[in-house]
């Protein structure tokens, strides 16, 4: 893996002025993928009739096929969409809820997904049920038991949204066990796999087949390709079990509204630029040329583990207190040292808005003054930084972060 680190950075569309350690937020596009997209865009712009009438549909289907192969799905059960949140929007707005139903989420559910659930609740009367997740976590069973308790207390739960890898905090959830628990209680499941493709093995057909219990099983899985597979933004795959496809509508109703093939329903969503969907094959090829999941994950996991340990040592702080088998492969959260000029939001019991959120002032300070890109946030009343590792990073990147934060701490110590 000597070719990883600085030698490979020029294969990504990244500013030379910035040290990028926040792959988990928006991903990074590979240079060959970007160049392939530019070629597609040229045809899209210079010969729109040729593009829309002859090329786009064929390209879209071919890239759905390749993404499906990569993620272990039958292509007729998958569509390409803008991001995982788009897919969850489509599914939640297609399922029929009443005021007798409830939707199950957690205190860690991605905020835009919570917003979708709020919208559905407001328009249908369905209630929202939360599993309150917090650190420290002793083991997976603690999480499963919390779900089981909430499910027992709310027999009207119709659907649960389960993260595979949570965004904040970056926790690898026991999603297989949680899906089984939901199936046993006749609860439909949407898997939020935003961080899954490229970070863990994904076997969509296998996962959903395992969960089948009567008529209830996983509806679908939405996973981003632009985060960890180096595709252009925004691009994700939504997988939907066949028995749920008949009522699934895309976010925008367009020319193929009633098509039997869900790929056609999602393919044409107006005339905006969809070339990102037509270079998925290029992204997967680039990813596999680097060595594929095992090689890339090995490098990233080793690096992020060393980086987190380095920061903990330099700052005399700690990582999240979670079991090793729940740690995300390529992301970590490390507690920041106290800095007088940056204060965490105090958590208010019962107010989920104070559980976690962005600390943009600190994030932008590190970006503007030190040219370091990370995600700073408050979580359970403490300041943290979420770091990611990818093949263009090396340990020196995180050393620079460590020293920058210590400089800010020293500056804060001089304040009255």
pLDDT digits (tens, 9 = 90+) for 258-270: 888 889 999 888 8
Q: What is the share, in percent, of the chain residues with pLDDT greater than 70?
A: 95
Question: pTM of the predicted model, to two decimals?
Answer: 0.93
What are the pLDDT digits (tens) for 167-217? 999 999 999 999 999 989 999 999 999 999 999 998 887 776 443 333 334
Q: Which residues are within 8 A (CB) of 323 and not within 5 positions of it... i.e. 6 or more apart?
A: 137, 138, 139, 140
Q: What is the arithmetic mean of pLDDT over 220-229?
A: 82
Are 190 and 159 contacting, i.e. CB atoms less than 8 angstroms apart? Answer: yes
How far does Cα 126 stand from its chain's mean position? 26
Given a cut of 50, whether residue 44 has pLDDT beyond it is: yes
What are the pLDDT digits (tens) for 341-361? 988 888 777 667 777 888 999
- Nearest of 89, 241, 107 to residue 163 by alpha carbon: 107
pLDDT at 209: 46
- How many Cβ atoms from other residues are within 10 Å of residue 357's Cβ? 14
Q: Is the dihedral of CA 208, 229, 90, 145 positive or negative?
A: positive
Question: 334 forms bridges with which residues in the sheet?
Answer: 319, 385
- How many Cβ atoms from other residues are within 10 Å of residue 254's Cβ? 14
Are 234 and 226 contacting, i.e. CB atoms less than 8 angstroms apart? Answer: yes
Element (H, E) at 159: strand 157-163
Spell out the domains of the chain, with CATH numbers in brackets. 6-21+292-413 (3.90.1150.10), 34-284 (3.40.640.10)
pLDDT at 199: 93
Question: 90 forms bridges with which residues in the sheet?
Answer: none
Question: 288 forms bridges with which residues in the sheet?
Answer: none
Q: What is the arithmetic mean of pLDDT over 121-148?
A: 97
d(C-alpha 86, C-alpha 138), whole Å: 33
pLDDT at 170: 97
pLDDT at 268: 86
Average pLDDT of the residues of the chain: 91
């Amino acid at each position: 893996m000597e070719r990883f680190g600085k030698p490979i950075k020029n294969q990504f569309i990244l500013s030379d002025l910035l040290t990028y350690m926040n792959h988990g937020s928006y991903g990074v596009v590979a240079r060959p993928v970007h160049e392939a997209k530019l070629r597609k865009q040229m045809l899209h712009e210079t010969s729109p009739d040729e593009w829309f009438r002859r090329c786009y549909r064929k390209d879209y289907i071919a890239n759905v096929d390749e993404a499906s192969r990569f993620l272990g799905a039958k292509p007729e059960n998958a569509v390409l969409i803008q991001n995982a949140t788009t897919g969850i929007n489509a599914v939640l707005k297609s399922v029929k809820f009443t005021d007798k139903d409830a939707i199950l989420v957690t205190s860690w559910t991605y905020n835009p997904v919570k917003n979708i659930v709020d919208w559905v609740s407001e328009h249908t009367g369905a209630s929202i049920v939360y599993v309150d997740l917090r650190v420290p976590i002793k083991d997976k069973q603690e999480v499963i038991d919390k779900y089981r308790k909430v499910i027992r207390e709310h027999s009207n739960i119709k659907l649960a949204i389960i993260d595979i890898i949570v965004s904040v905090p970056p926790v690898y959830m026991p999603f297989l066990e949680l899906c089984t628990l939901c199936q046993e209680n006749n609860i439909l499941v949407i898997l939020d796999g935003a961080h899954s493709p490229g970070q863990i093995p994904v076997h969509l057909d296998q996962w959903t087949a395992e969960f089948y219990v009567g008529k209830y099983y996983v509806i679908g899985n939405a996973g981003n390709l632009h985060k960890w597979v180096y595709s252009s933004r925004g691009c994700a795959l939504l997988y939907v079990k066949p028995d749920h496809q008949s009522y699934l509508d895309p976010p925008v109703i367009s020319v193929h509204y009633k098509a039997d093939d869900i790929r056609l329903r999602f393919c044409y969503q107006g005339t905006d630029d969809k070339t990102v969907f037509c270079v998925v094959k290029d992204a997967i090829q680039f990813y596999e040329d680097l060595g594929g999941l095992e090689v890339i994950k090995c490098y990233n996991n080793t690096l992020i583990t060393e980086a987190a340990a380095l920061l903990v040592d330099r700052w005399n702080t700690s990582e999240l207190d979670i079991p090793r088998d729940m740690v995300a492969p390529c992301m970590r959260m490390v507690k920041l040292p106290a800095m007088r000029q940056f204060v965490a939001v105090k958590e208010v019991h019962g107010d989920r808005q104070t559980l976690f959120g962005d600390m943009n002032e600190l994030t932008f300070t590190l970006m503007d003054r030190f040219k370091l890109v990370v995600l700073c946030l408050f979580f359970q009343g403490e300041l943290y930084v979420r770091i990611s590792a990818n093949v263009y990073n090396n340990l020196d990147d995180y050393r620079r972060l460590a020293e920058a934060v210590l400089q800010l701490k020293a500056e804060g110590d001089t304040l009255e």
